[in-house]
Amino acid sequence: EVLLEAGLTSEAVRLAERLVAAAPAANTLQRGDALLLAARALWAAGHNVEAAVRASAAADLFASDRRQPAEAVALYVRALAAPSRGSVRLIRRALRTLREQGWEDEALVAQVQLGRALLAAGRRSGAARQFEEVAEQALHDSVRRRLTVLLARALRAQHAHDGAADRQPDRHGVAL
pLDDT single digits (tens) 76-101: 899 888 888 888 988 898 899 889 98
- Maximal CA-CA distance, the chain: 54
Spatial distance between the Cα atoms of 5 and 91, rounded to a whole number of angstroms: 21
- 110-120 pLDDT per residue, tens: 999 899 899 88
Closest CA to 77 of 32, 122, 120, 121: 32
158's CB contacts (< 8 A; 6+ apart) are 164, 165, 167, 176
- 127-167 pLDDT per residue, tens: 999 999 999 887 777 777 888 888 888 888 887 765 544 44
Provide the residue type at 99 as one letter.
R
Mean pLDDT score, 1-29: 86
Mean pLDDT score, 66-76: 89
Answer yes or no: is pLDDT of 174 > 50: no
User: What count of residues does the chain have?
Assistant: 176
Phi, psi of 121 (to 5 degrees): -85, 5
DSSP string for residues in 132-167 = HHHHTS-S-S-HHHHHHHHHHHHHHHHHHHHSGGGS
Q: What separation in angstroms does the CA of 164 have from each of 6, 87, 113, 124, 156?
A: 29, 21, 16, 11, 10
Answer yes or no: is pLDDT of 63 > 70: yes
